[in-house]
Structure 1
Amino acid sequence: MTTTALPRPGTRRRTGLLATAAAMADATPADRNRVVDLLRAASILVVVTGHWLMAGMRVEDGQLVRDDVLEMAAWLHPLTWVLQVMPVFFLVGGYANALSWRSARSRGETYGGWLRARLRRLTLPVVPLMLFWAAFAPLASAVGLGDGFLRTTTAAALVPTWFLAAYVVVVALVPVTLAAWERLRWLSVGAALGAAALTDLVSIAGDLPAVGFLNYVFVWAGVHQLGYAWLDGALDSRARRGGLAALGAVVLVALVVWGPYAVSMVGVTEHGVNNAYPTRVTLFALGLLQAGVVLLAEPLLRALVAHRAAWTAVIVVNARIMTLYLWHFTAMGLVLAGSLLLGGVGLHRETLSPGWWTSRPLWLLVLTAVTLAVVAVMGTFEQPGADPRPAPAPLRPVLAVVGLCASLGVLADVGIVAAVAGGTVVNWWLPLLPVAVLLLGGIARAPRRGHPA
């Protein structure tokens, strides 16, 4: 993913993020496709807002209880075809990553150096998040915030890291998938779609859920290739864009009407096959639909970001996009902790009751304020300084990708907070595994005096 680079931290502190972004907006090259940046920023903002709205949090008998809004309100499921916008994120990732890898090839940059640079930008914001939970989880347990709080907030904090893990795998495969696109064009996209469908067939019909996790690669790499098609002009005509949207809509409707899949594109468990965990072929179809729709709207979106104020706002969001994505659930956890310490203030309404709905604007406002404060503090990790080290052998960053996925998988499976006989245990050390992987893989560097990593 290519994002707008900001000046070094010292300059940013002197001028301020908004002023720097405004200056960068004025200096934007005329040939930059601003719609890519707009869609990236908008998709993450929709994801964050959707996560906050779908979390039905309330206090009962002094304990935090999480109600799954989508499980309780099936009438909301069709809305997830709009709110589940991770396919758009992978679409623009394909566009940006193809540009980046082709530029690196033209400069003679090695794959190892290119991948390490991409991983630094994407994964360094994970380090403070993991360190925070390694410290905060045992502290929350010590002050008596309750098992419900610990289980809910720690599990939620891991959700963004799972999609990040899938994304870095797709990034690591860019030289392979881009070569496949350049050689086979639409056959490569069809092959990814066929592999995703076959994976689901084996996984669902054979009751082999572990096989379904292969679609974290087949589905997202396939949607990622749509970004290659966009960049190379294979989707320039309105007919092709409309056809892509129509194909996605037809396949998606067929899968949820005549297939075993849930209507909701966000994970639910009681309404058919879960489409999100593991990722299913339905999300590939959704990606076709959404790609066609947003590309049909490209002229309007291009006109929008031609305005200086709108383009400056897009630059600001993209400058802190990974921090926002990784920390928005943790910011919600801080709000919930504050409420519990104050006796559950604001969390006594029944989920989906009229009072609950009318309180949503205030809920979003509070979460936004706390998240902005967190992003202001943690955002500097998203702009790593220049890396003077020689390019590594390709194996090292590839192993870092594998290790990051494995460590996050262990963390998700075991959990920071695990139930045991008579209560819970806080596995405070588990969040340190991804940090260790990034250090050993050469992605993160231990800080030295006068040389911050």
Structure 2
Amino acid sequence: MIDFLRAAAITVVVLGHWTIVAVDRNGIQPHGVLDNAPWSHPLTWVFQVMPVFFLVGGYANGISWRSARRKGVGYGGWLRARLRRLGLPLIPLLLVWLAACVIMLAAGMTPERVQVLSQMALIPTWFLAAYLLVIAVAPACLVLWERFGWWSIAGGVVLAGVVDLISIGTGSELAGYPNYLIVWASFHQFGYAWLDGRLATLRRKLLLAGIGAVGLAVLVGLGPYPVSMITAAGDEISNSSPTRVTMAFLGMLQAGLVLTTEAPLTRWLQRPRVWFVTVVLNSRIMTWFLWHLTAMVAVSSLLVALGGIGLGLAPLSPLWWATRPVWWLVLLAVTYGLVLVFGRFESPRADPRPAPATWRPVAAAVCVCAGLAVMASAGMVGPGGLNPVWPLLPVVGLAVFGVLLRPGRTSV
């Protein structure tokens, strides 16, 4: 079931991005639908499904780390293996976009325009940065779960609320950045609870959903938090950038409801065709996720360059909505082509090396997260032009600190 939920969550994210980003003859309007249609904001409670991915991640990381402990695999070896699985597909994306930015600037495109395009294409990297942070602390969080149970989650949620109080109270987004780790690491614990059978009964699943619903209603209805769980231009603060405590309660609501379907979903997934599709999607799921907005930026830029062919429809008009399936199919075809080219990086060969010193994969993770965090918010280009440091930092970190195999031991 975790494979299906992972694939389903990423599919919803991809279709959501392809829908909420409006494109017209003037180019890309980030979050155009949300900005122009306030009625769509409550729908983000359904389509903001990143919490489901962290739920699945908690379940999978719990299995992985416990297996490593039984086999005597240390933290350094375990973390390096996780970095190889998630970091290798990232390298071609960063290098391709670095080259694209150089070409666009050399062709005379303004730095502001290139910044928008690169920032839009690299939106998926904020999630990868947050997820890598959570993976780095997952073993320690599992110890907290095994020792303190539900209190380990409650403590994290309370701490996230305190961070929000400081951040919102002072008007400092930077003060809210610790919640990228605190909120997602705390919610990640529910994956451990699911793994250990602590969410096995229908009563507990509904109770979890109820706590999430009540918490969201109070925070949004009485607090300063907006309805939209995805950043919208009209909101004074964002629930997702930086991550707010509301995302933890959204995750509780979604996790409780999703887990009520566990039994029928498990039976359905026993069908050979359904399971085959699930396995195929998961084999390239990170590549699909990382490249789907690059496909959208490429298609949109081409259509604008050709005079706005197919972009004359007013966003949110009935005809615009009617043509969304065609838009999705075009982007799906382009993304599929990118997956065929770059998907092989998602299947690294076995790593025969002995376990590294712990500090080496930790340093690599820091480099990856630092580079991705900056690019997710600012792209690769600033007012002064190209800044190659941030896209190269993850690549250099993975190479220098031993996550990549030496040339004589090809990893892909």
TM-score by length of 2: 0.95
Contact conserved, 1:328 with 1:371, CA < 8 A, in 2? Answer: yes
Question: Is 1:444 aligned to residue 389 of structure 2?
Answer: no
Deviation at 1:404, TM superposition (A): 1.3
Change (3 A) 1:410 1:273: closer
Deviation at 1:428, TM superposition (A): 4.9
Please give the secondary structure, in 1, of the residue aligned with 2:25: strand
1:17-32 maps to which residues of 2 (within 5 A)?
Answer: none
Partner of 2:375: 411
Q: Mean Cα displacement is larger for which, 281-290 or 143-152?
A: 143-152
Aligned counterpart for 2:3 among listed residues 32, 37, 58? 37
Partner of 1:327: 291
Partner of 1:237: 201
What letter matches 1:439 in structure 2? A
1:376-391 maps to which residues of 2 (within 5 A)?
Answer: 376-391=340-355
Question: Is 1:210 aligned to residue 174 of structure 2?
Answer: yes
Give the whole-Å Cα distance in 2 for the aligned partners of 1:67 and 1:344: 19
Q: Mean Cα displacement is larger for which, 76-85 or 433-442?
A: 433-442
| Runs of at least 5 residues in structure 2 that lack an aligned partner in the other structure | none
1:239-388 maps to which residues of 2 (within 5 A)?
Answer: 239-388=203-352
Partner of 2:17: 51
| Runs of at least 5 residues in structure 1 that lack an aligned partner in the other structure | 1-34
Deviations 1:169-199 (A, max 9, x none): 1011111100000011111011111111111
Deviation at 1:441, TM superposition (A): 2.1
Contact conserved, 1:65 with 1:148, CA < 8 A, in 2? Answer: no
Contact conserved, 1:323 with 1:378, CA < 8 A, in 2? Answer: yes
What letter matches 2:293 in structure 1? F
Deviation at 1:284, TM superposition (A): 0.3
Identity of aligned residues (%): 49
Deviation at 1:426, TM superposition (A): 3.3
Contact conserved, 2:31 with 2:232, CA < 8 A, in 1? Answer: no
What letter matches 1:293 in structure 2? L
Contact conserved, 1:145 with 1:341, CA < 8 A, in 2? Answer: no
Give the whole-Å Cα distance in 2 for the aligned partners of 1:151 and 1:73: 26
Q: How many residues align?
A: 412
Change (3 A) 1:234 1:65: closer
Deviation at 1:150, TM superposition (A): 2.4
Deviation at 1:243, TM superposition (A): 0.3
Give the whole-Å Cα distance in 2 for the aligned partners of 1:214 and 1:429: 23
Deviation at 1:307, TM superposition (A): 0.8
Change (3 A) 1:368 1:52: same
Change (3 A) 1:67 1:211: closer
Change (3 A) 1:244 1:306: same
Partner of 2:64: 100
Give the whole-Å Cα distance in 2 for the aligned partners of 1:329 and 1:290: 25
Deviation at 1:444, TM superposition (A): 2.1
Deviations 1:127-155 (A, max 9, x none): 00001001112223444566675233211
What letter matches 1:121 in structure 2? R
Deviation at 1:67, TM superposition (A): 6.0
Give the whole-Å Cα distance in 1 for the aligned partners of 2:389 and 2:246: 36
Change (3 A) 1:358 1:414: closer
Contact conserved, 2:21 with 2:28, CA < 8 A, in 1? Answer: no
Give the whole-Å Cα distance in 2 for the aligned partners of 1:166 and 1:451: 28
Contact conserved, 2:364 with 2:394, CA < 8 A, in 1? Answer: no
Q: Mean Cα displacement is larger for which, 294-303 or 348-357?
A: 348-357
Q: Mean Cα displacement is larger for which, 349-358 or 242-251?
A: 349-358
What letter matches 2:386 in structure 1? V
Change (3 A) 1:82 1:327: same
Give the whole-Å Cα distance in 2 for the aligned partners of 1:407 and 1:66: 22
Please give the secondary structure, in 1, of the residue aligned with 2:235: coil
Partner of 2:356: 392
Please give the secondary structure, in 2, of the residue aligned with 1:134: helix
Please give the secondary structure, in 1, of the residue aligned with 2:102: helix
What letter matches 1:445 in structure 2? L
Aligned counterpart for 1:435 among listed residues 385, 395, 410? 395
What letter matches 2:276 in structure 1? T
Give the whole-Å Cα distance in 2 for the aligned partners of 1:171 and 1:246: 28
Q: Mean Cα displacement is larger for which, 294-303 or 252-261?
A: 294-303
Deviation at 1:291, TM superposition (A): 0.7
Partner of 2:89: 125
Contact conserved, 1:64 with 1:148, CA < 8 A, in 2? Answer: no
What letter matches 1:169 in structure 2? L
Deviation at 1:202, TM superposition (A): 1.3
Partner of 1:29: none
What letter matches 1:137 in structure 2? C
Contact conserved, 1:417 with 1:427, CA < 8 A, in 2? Answer: yes
Question: Is 1:201 aligned to residue 161 of structure 2?
Answer: no
Q: Mean Cα displacement is larger for which, 377-386 or 432-441?
A: 432-441
Once superposed, what is the RMSD of the aligned Cα atoms? 1.8
Deviations 1:346-365 (A, max 9, x none): 12222222332222111111
Q: Mean Cα displacement is larger for which, 214-223 or 144-153?
A: 144-153
Give the whole-Å Cα distance in 1 for the aligned partners of 2:255 and 2:195: 13
Contact conserved, 1:192 with 1:219, CA < 8 A, in 2? Answer: yes
Please give the secondary structure, in 2, of the residue aligned with 1:173: helix
Change (3 A) 1:255 1:218: same
Q: Mean Cα displacement is larger for which, 405-414 or 246-255?
A: 405-414
